[in-house]
Amino acid sequence: MSYAPVVDIRSATPVPTKAHAWHVLREASRIEPDEATRIAWYRDEPIATLGRHTAESLVAMGRYLDVLDFLRGVRLDLGLEPSHGFGAF
């Protein structure tokens, strides 16, 4: 019995996907509830600490984890992240 050859179709470098953009926008929704404002930020606002690139261009470069880390830091700075550990009492 012969089988079809197995072909590895994965790219050598990760390809940005809509899922990465969705994760970034979902994280941003925890800071900015207005969808239009969130999308405008994603597409148009440069992030100074990430080389003045927009979130959209960073996701396209495969740096979506950097954007997620940035947004999580913003949440902490704004006090939107709940306290953990003994300080939460």
d(CA 72, CA 36): 20
Q: Are 57 and 45 in contact (CB under 8 A)?
A: no
Q: In the chain, what are the domain boundaries?
A: 18-77
* pTM recorded for the entire structure: 0.74
Distances (CA, A) of 67 to 24, 40, 74, 83: 7, 15, 11, 22
Average pLDDT over residues 54-77: 95
Query: What pLDDT, on a 0 to 100 scale, did the predictor assign at position 87?
Result: 52
pLDDT digits (tens, 9 = 90+) for 13-35: 555 579 999 999 999 999 999 99
